[in-house]
A and B are shown apart, each in its own frame.
Chain A
């Protein structure tokens, strides 16, 4: 049996067992979406694998089952007993077919049409088709018949898929047959297999090829040729190629042999005879393999049995632990030996040393496997895919020998397959398209594995079309994962990250390959389960690169032992780039920028981390030695130096996990026992970099922002920047409006055109004092704190006296004010605080703030905007801002008042409405407007601090044209302009 097939059987049987249990669980908890997606994924896997192995019957059954599950997952169907029964019936059928498959090596014949029809009917209507319905047996029967008459032999055989499988089976048999095996000696069997495939395809009338004849230049006896033909015949039978087609194929092979050698056609007769009893039996499945086994003899069977034994992983784990202990003990003994020169133990201990090393290596090998094992299936998959999709794809694999733990390997196998499949299906374009884009016709998928910084990095890269941002955006909005205005503020990279969300797939149609949204979220979950990370970089038109980083959990690693403040630590050698010694008198010395240590190393500034301070061992000032050793460490593409007091030797250490109570300390990746028996901690360079705040993954950033955002939404508490300026109460401004906080040297402040300006980032930035008299009282030295407000091309600085704090507070403007530049007063952090009207200062700095935008988007006359919001604060905050942006704003505090304006005959170009309002809420207000009346066609935009997908959906149903988050000034102005220009375009 094909290795692939037997692997499939084991895997699928395991999956089926899980499925049975999970389905029953699902019936009890129909709302458990995690359970459901797991079930869906398992069935999807079964289906997918069947497709690749050329098991059409299994595939079609699984596909029908998956269909039903897909509908259930999408919420179109409910989890009913009937649904579960049907799915279970589907699983039972799969199991029956698998049973036969296991026994005979071929898919048994049988009719699943009724089951499939039931499943499909259920998927369509939520009910199984009545069993009474006459099965349309005639149709499928007629189809192949019609095909037979017209199609070429190539098509009748079943195309490349079948030929490939035939060759696979055939060579499986040939390799077990000592009589003919020798014929192919001296050549890679993969090549021969490839030639045979092309040859078979050619003689059947399939695509022509230039591959050499598989038997070219190979001497063989007639008996050997006959044996080969026997294997071919058996393979054809095994794959259920119809008898008469098989006979035709064989006939052509004989004809060719005859022409080449002049051997009489009598041979054909004997083979015919051999085939005859098979043909006579209506169900050849049982008979043929039985015969096959008899012919192949015991040699093959015993060979398989000897190849491997199954060992419990736990046993290996124990073995590994014991060996680790042995290694440590050996190290200890060797350490002792070094003190006693000329000991008579020296020789035997040396031997013990060697044996231990070898034992350690051997045991490690039992767990470690080259990553190539996980890739073994991929070339075949890519090959089949490229045929199915009519694409040309090259698969390049680099670093197959990179070894990693068996368990880890198992975990990443499926994700990798998914990703490569995705690349082939979605990313690589058709040859035609590629040519037009100026790329070589053949697409390239590159797999690359290597060790880096104590991790294994696996890259999956393609030179396809890259991630289509527009489609992703549309999908994000469609699925309610984010709003348009939120997307507006995101970088391309952040948007790309959405493909890792559950239920996300941009493939337009569901193919047998991918496109059900099972892909990337599962990939990510699996990788994160083993403590790995996945990163994505994509450029539209150029290609996509995934980078998977997996930690080496269980391993003996080489580590550098260092000392800091009298404590010793180990740093994995693999992340150490170089060692540098710095001294105050020497060429290299540690310099400080505002207390941050740095090192000038080969014309570059290397950021330094003081281990002493990072680990809170003692203050850096208390160090005694003059010299500092710097361990230059690489994490990803980022380099930094770790400052330590001394560097010892490198040592082989066994990484042991730290106790649970210490696991939250991110700078340690484990601990170990050194040769002298002392326990030391292993530093994790990644953790140190992260703890120093020096690494920010695009993704982590986004997550953090998400948290901030949701925090801002809860309870309407917003982060506020508190500062002092001029006399009186402290001032506050919503932090979201502030672009940066800067300190500017007062000497650099210049006067220009009666205004204060400063050169800032290559431009002149106007500075506006909060109070007029404040500017006069400045002394001319020292630092001036400035709040920078920034638009795309303009920046403006608000001069303040002191930045006090950032607090989160609810904003309730208690006292409105007439003072320009103030919205009012509120109680913040228990103190009366002035809320600053940023809009006022913005328009002070630039008369034309927003001007350019107004010109190109809105037109010259100002647009009338109606704002409905119950919160006085927001009315006061937004009105001046919108006015500054060129809108004429009317603000009311309730939906009723707004409707009264409508009655009164007021006209507006646009309405902005809050969602949460007492009395008539935003939804009701919008419905009322859209139902009838004069404002029916006025665009209306929702303004809210809560943005659950559900609410977004509801907003769209009642008629909101768009949605903007509160505090998002940029987004609001942008959305307003967009909505207005749409109206104009439509008019």
Chain B
């Protein structure tokens, strides 16, 4: 489990991957118009709209906490985390539940799509011109036929450590 997430977290190695094509599975999701993906093995659950209890005084990225089969899951809204505008009030968010350092987190996104098996031939590193906020949380990009898929790094999304210290 952890091995899977580690390997996938960094994306396929870019140096040698052009020749040896390797298939990897990603759960796709959208926020706004952008397609994102995270390695399927890091995902524990995909949930529909949930009852999320607000946590007063929490940082803006923390949407609240929810109950997943008796475990308390902290909901992280990916939009403010990526520096994107707030979701429309009437649109319910979907949850992608991941485990990070023995804690469960639910990533709130606009919608969750299918699981895609992607070939490492189509993978490449972030273009240097990418928005620095996005670059911080992304491992790389897949070129799909119709669009581009940004691979999100779960570890850096949930690493609040240095930010809190800086605050």
A671 at the interface (CB under 8 A from B): yes
Q: Which of A329, A567, A659 contacts B74 (CB 8 A)?
A: A659
Against A, the Cβ 8 Å flags (1 = close, 0 = not) of B100-125 are 01010100000000000000000000
With A677-B67, A679-B67 already in contact, the answer to whether A662 and B56 are too (CB < 8 A) is no
Are A665 and B65 in contact, with the CB atoms below 8 A? no
Task: State in angstroms the CA–CA spacing of A681 and B65 once bound together.
Answer: 9
Task: State in angstroms the CA–CA spacing of A779 and B64 once bound together.
Answer: 55
Task: State in angstroms the CA–CA spacing of A671 and B65 once bound together.
Answer: 9
- Of chain B, the residue at the smallest CB distance from A325 is B70
B66 at the interface (CB under 8 A from A): yes
A656 at the interface (CB under 8 A from B): yes
User: Min CB distance, B58 to chain A, in Å?
Assistant: 6
With A325-B70, A673-B72, A679-B72 already in contact, the answer to whether A615 and B57 are too (CB < 8 A) is yes
Against A, the Cβ 8 Å flags (1 = close, 0 = not) of B52-87 are 011111110010111100101010000000000000
Q: Which residues of A contact B59 (CB under 8 A)?
A: 661
With A567-B56, A679-B67, A681-B56 already in contact, the answer to whether A661 and B62 are too (CB < 8 A) is yes
Task: State in angstroms the CA–CA spacing of A143 and B62 once bound together.
Answer: 76
Are A617 and B56 in contact, with the CB atoms below 8 A? yes
A984 at the interface (CB under 8 A from B): no
Task: State in angstroms the CA–CA spacing of A662 and B57 once bound together.
Answer: 9
Task: State in angstroms the CA–CA spacing of A668 and B56 once bound together.
Answer: 10
Q: Which of A616, A617, A673 contacts B67 (CB 8 A)?
A: A673
User: Min CB distance, A482 to chain B, in Å?
Assistant: 31
Are B56 and A660 in contact, with the CB atoms below 8 A? no
Are A615 and B56 in contact, with the CB atoms below 8 A? yes
Task: State in angstroms the CA–CA spacing of A673 and B70 once bound together.
Answer: 7
- Of chain B, the residue at the smallest CB distance from A677 is B67
With A616-B56, A656-B72, A681-B56 already in contact, the answer to whether A661 and B160 are too (CB < 8 A) is yes
Are B74 and A662 in contact, with the CB atoms below 8 A? yes
Task: State in angstroms the CA–CA spacing of A668 and B72 once bound together.
Answer: 15
Q: Which residues of A contact B64 (CB under 8 A)?
A: 679
Q: Which residues of B contact A339 (CB under 8 A)?
A: none
With A671-B65, A679-B65 already in contact, the answer to whether A662 and B70 are too (CB < 8 A) is no
B147 at the interface (CB under 8 A from A): no
B51 at the interface (CB under 8 A from A): yes
With A567-B56, A678-B53 already in contact, the answer to whether A329 and B62 are too (CB < 8 A) is no
- Of chain A, the residue at the smallest CB distance from B53 is A679
Are A659 and B65 in contact, with the CB atoms below 8 A? yes
Task: State in angstroms the CA–CA spacing of A656 and B59 once bound together.
Answer: 20
Q: Which residues of A contact B166 (CB under 8 A)?
A: none
Are B55 and A662 in contact, with the CB atoms below 8 A? yes
- Of chain B, the residue at the smallest CB distance from A674 is B67
Q: Which residues of A contact B51 (CB under 8 A)?
A: 678
Task: State in angstroms the CA–CA spacing of A661 and B101 once bound together.
Answer: 12
A792 at the interface (CB under 8 A from B): no
**Interface size of A by Cβ–Cβ distance < 8 Å?**
24
B164 at the interface (CB under 8 A from A): yes
Task: State in angstroms the CA–CA spacing of A665 and B167 once bound together.
Answer: 14
Q: Which residues of A309-362 are within 8 A (CB) of B?
A: 325, 328-329
Against B, the Cβ 8 Å flags (1 = close, 0 = not) of A605-643 are 000000000011100000000000000000000000000
User: Min CB distance, A618 to chain B, in Å?
Assistant: 10
A602 at the interface (CB under 8 A from B): no
User: Min CB distance, B19 to chain A, in Å?
Assistant: 41
Task: State in angstroms the CA–CA spacing of A679 and B64 once bound together.
Answer: 9
Q: Which residues of B contact A668 (CB under 8 A)?
A: 55
Q: Which residues of B contact A665 (CB under 8 A)?
A: 55, 57-58
Are B53 and A667 in contact, with the CB atoms below 8 A? no
Q: Which residues of B contact A615 (CB under 8 A)?
A: 56-57
Task: State in angstroms the CA–CA spacing of A659 and B105 once bound together.
Answer: 9
Task: State in angstroms the CA–CA spacing of A616 and B67 once bound together.
Answer: 24
Are A681 and B164 in contact, with the CB atoms below 8 A? no
Are A671 and B103 in contact, with the CB atoms below 8 A? no
Are B62 and A679 in contact, with the CB atoms below 8 A? no
Are B55 and A660 in contact, with the CB atoms below 8 A? no
Against B, the Cβ 8 Å flags (1 = close, 0 = not) of A59-96 are 00000000000000000000000000000000000000
- Of chain A, the residue at the smallest CB distance from B76 is A661
A244 at the interface (CB under 8 A from B): no
Number of A-B contacts (CB under 8 A): 56
Q: Which residues of B contact A672 (CB under 8 A)?
A: 72
- Of chain A, the residue at the smallest CB distance from B51 is A678
A680 at the interface (CB under 8 A from B): yes
Task: State in angstroms the CA–CA spacing of A494 and B146 once bound together.
Answer: 71
A436 at the interface (CB under 8 A from B): no
Q: Which residues of A774-797 are within 8 A (CB) of B?
A: none
A664 at the interface (CB under 8 A from B): yes
Are A661 and B70 in contact, with the CB atoms below 8 A? no
User: Min CB distance, B66 to chain A, in Å?
Assistant: 6
Q: Which of B67, B103, B160 contacts A678 (CB 8 A)?
A: B67
With A661-B62, A661-B160, A662-B62 already in contact, the answer to whether A567 and B70 are too (CB < 8 A) is no
Are A662 and B72 in contact, with the CB atoms below 8 A? no
Task: State in angstroms the CA–CA spacing of A680 and B55 once bound together.
Answer: 8
User: Min CB distance, A637 to chain B, in Å?
Assistant: 27
Q: Which residues of A contact B62 (CB under 8 A)?
A: 661-662
Are A662 and B53 in contact, with the CB atoms below 8 A? no
Q: Which residues of A547-567 are within 8 A (CB) of B?
A: 567
Are A661 and B56 in contact, with the CB atoms below 8 A? no
Task: State in angstroms the CA–CA spacing of A616 and B55 once bound together.
Answer: 11
Q: Which of A567, A616, A661 contacts B164 (CB 8 A)?
A: A661
Against B, the Cβ 8 Å flags (1 = close, 0 = not) of A668-700 are 100111000111110000000000000000000
Q: Which residues of A contact B72 (CB under 8 A)?
A: 656, 659, 671-673, 679
Q: Which residues of A contact B66 (CB under 8 A)?
A: 679
Task: State in angstroms the CA–CA spacing of A659 and B100 once bound together.
Answer: 11
Task: State in angstroms the CA–CA spacing of A662 and B70 once bound together.
Answer: 19
- Of chain B, the residue at the smallest CB distance from A673 is B67
User: Min CB distance, B74 to chain A, in Å?
Assistant: 4
Q: Which residues of A contact B54 (CB under 8 A)?
A: 567
Q: Which residues of B contact A329 (CB under 8 A)?
A: 70
Against A, the Cβ 8 Å flags (1 = close, 0 = not) of B123-166 are 00000000000000000000000000000000000001000100
Task: State in angstroms the CA–CA spacing of A468 and B127 once bound together.
Answer: 70
- Of chain B, the residue at the smallest CB distance from A660 is B103
User: Min CB distance, A487 to chain B, in Å?
Assistant: 35
- Of chain A, the residue at the smallest CB distance from B158 is A661
Q: Which residues of A contact B56 (CB under 8 A)?
A: 567, 615-617, 681
Task: State in angstroms the CA–CA spacing of A97 and B57 once bound together.
Answer: 59
User: Min CB distance, B161 to chain A, in Å?
Assistant: 8
Against B, the Cβ 8 Å flags (1 = close, 0 = not) of A508-526 are 0000000000000000000
Q: Which residues of A contact B55 (CB under 8 A)?
A: 662, 665, 668, 681
User: Min CB distance, A227 to chain B, in Å?
Assistant: 58
Q: Which residues of A contact B160 (CB under 8 A)?
A: 660-661
Q: Which residues of A contact B105 (CB under 8 A)?
A: 659
From B53, B59, B103, B164, name the one whose CB has the most chain A CB atoms within 10 angstroms: B53
User: Min CB distance, A942 to chain B, in Å?
Assistant: 38
From A616, A659, A667, name the one whose CB has the most chain B CB atoms within 10 angstroms: A659
Task: State in angstroms the CA–CA spacing of A680 and B103 once bound together.
Answer: 17
Against A, the Cβ 8 Å flags (1 = close, 0 = not) of B40-54 are 000000000001011
**15 extra interchain contacts, Cβ-Cβ under 8 A, other than A615-B56, A668-B55?**
A616-B57, A656-B72, A659-B65, A659-B74, A659-B103, A661-B58, A662-B55, A665-B57, A665-B58, A671-B65, A671-B72, A672-B72, A677-B67, A678-B51, A678-B53
Q: What is the interface of chain A, defined by CB distance below 8 A to chain B? A: 325, 328-329, 567, 615-617, 656, 659-662, 664-665, 667-668, 671-673, 677-681
Q: Give 9 closest A-B pairs by Cβ, nearest first.
A: A615-B56, A659-B74, A325-B70, A679-B53, A679-B65, A661-B160, A665-B57, A673-B67, A679-B67
Pull 26 A–B residue pairs with CB atoms less than 8 Å apart, ordered by A.
Answer: A328-B70, A567-B54, A567-B56, A615-B57, A616-B57, A617-B56, A656-B72, A659-B72, A659-B74, A659-B105, A660-B103, A661-B58, A661-B59, A661-B62, A661-B164, A662-B62, A665-B55, A668-B55, A671-B72, A672-B72, A673-B67, A678-B51, A679-B65, A679-B72, A680-B53, A681-B55
